Amino acid sequence: MGRRLAGVCVLLLASVAACGQRGEERGAGLGAVGAVREGFTVGLLLPAEGPERALFTRALTARCPRCRVEYANAAGDRARQGRQVGRMLADGVRVLVLGAVDPGSAAPWVARAKLAGAKVVAYDRLADGPVDAYVSTDPARAGRSQALALLGAIQRPDKGPGKGPGPVLLLNGPPGDPYAAAVKRSLHAVLDGRVTIGWERDLARPGDAAREVAAALAALGGPAKVAGVCCPGEAAEAVAAALTRAGAAGVPLVGQGGRTGVLRRVSAGTPTATVTVRADVAAEAAAAAALAVEVAGGRTVYGTATVSNGTTASIPAVLVPPVVVTKDSAAAVPRGAGPDTAGAAVPEGAAGVVVRPR
């Protein structure tokens, strides 16, 4: 699995490096707001503290040695992030990499940036508004990986549609979130007809997870009647705690996300966190740095797909394959390594960035 991860990273970085070389050969295009030769400032706005800052800075410096990163952490506060966007634009920052606290409320900020002549790369969460590009984990692969991990954890029979063990509990991301909707579709594409889905809810807020687990266990007849649980990463720790309180510590839990607490449960072999599917943070940061440099140069970017955020269609997107973390792969991480280094990549190909002159 380690060799597969290395292969994915090499392919991704090779494609990113190649596009950078092509971009430098062409020079700046129309609508450029920065050039590699002189350097420019990139605003990195994240919803919370994490490893992304160091990884992004390292990737950007490798591509643009004279570029600078202006960093802002919103600490989960939507209004605070709006003020941070305003300050960066007032300071003359014209390339923003935005990990929105609330993607649905980001449209006015993105529109303000565009009116100021700035470029916006949506990071991890697809912000509303006229963004120039988007980087995230591939939601279809993330959902498929979760579903396959859940099937493996509950040891389903190989024969007979709809006769697998169950029921299972599915907790999805927020209603109206395009990423969560794509993960949900992919989950159902694998699970439908193979297991009985006894309870499913879309979580408007991660804090609703514990209540939904309690309601599901009561409706389904108790912990013994639940074969497994699948949930988004923001809710995974709350779900694991709720299962433990209900006496369901042996029920397999498959989460999405690389929160430290979830990874610790996986590494320790805690039954309520059998597997987690998380973002390859280093690969996402590298792709975001590549996109920031290319859009700054005024070049048209083509990713691995195009997406729509409800306000803008055909947004070029780089969708990075997810990473599946099991007890064995988590245990293989060197002591002191961060959560962004844990796991083994899903061997379904690599993501890259391709650019074309305007």
60-64, 340-344, 346-350: which is most confident: 60-64
Per-residue model confidence (pLDDT) at position 229: 93
Nearest 5°: the CA angle 331, 337, 343 is: 45
How many other C-beta atoms can be found within 10 angstroms of the C-beta atom of residue 207?
Answer: 11
Local confidence band at 330 (pLDDT 50, 70, 90 cut-offs)? low
Give the C-alpha separation, 236 to 230, whole Å: 9
Checking if the pLDDT of 325 tops 50, the result is: yes
Q: What percentage of the chain reaches a pLDDT higher than 90? A: 52
Per-residue model confidence (pLDDT) at position 343: 37
Per-residue model confidence (pLDDT) at position 17: 41
Output the pTM of the full model: 0.76
Per-residue model confidence (pLDDT) at position 111: 97
Alpha helix locations (H) across 64-208?
A: 78-90, 107-115, 139-154, 178-191
Give the C-alpha separation, 149 to 151, whole Å: 5
Checking if the pLDDT of 237 tops 50, the result is: yes
Our CA dihedral for 201, 246, 237, 347, rounded to 10 degrees, sits at -70
Give the C-alpha separation, 148 to 23, whole Å: 39
How many other C-beta atoms can be found within 10 angstroms of the C-beta atom of residue 306?
Answer: 12
Q: Is 139:179 a contact under the CB 8 Å cutoff?
A: yes
Give the C-alpha separation, 180 to 104, whole Å: 13
Give the C-alpha separation, 324 to 333, whole Å: 13
Q: Is 131:314 a contact under the CB 8 Å cutoff?
A: no
Give the C-alpha separation, 253 to 259, whole Å: 14
**Pairing, β 315-320 against β 133-137:** parallel
Per-residue model confidence (pLDDT) at position 334: 40
Give the C-alpha separation, 90 to 85, whole Å: 9
Q: Per-residue pLDDT tens for 122-167?
A: 999 899 999 999 999 999 999 999 999 899 888 644 434 444 567 9
Give the C-alpha separation, 253 to 272, whole Å: 5
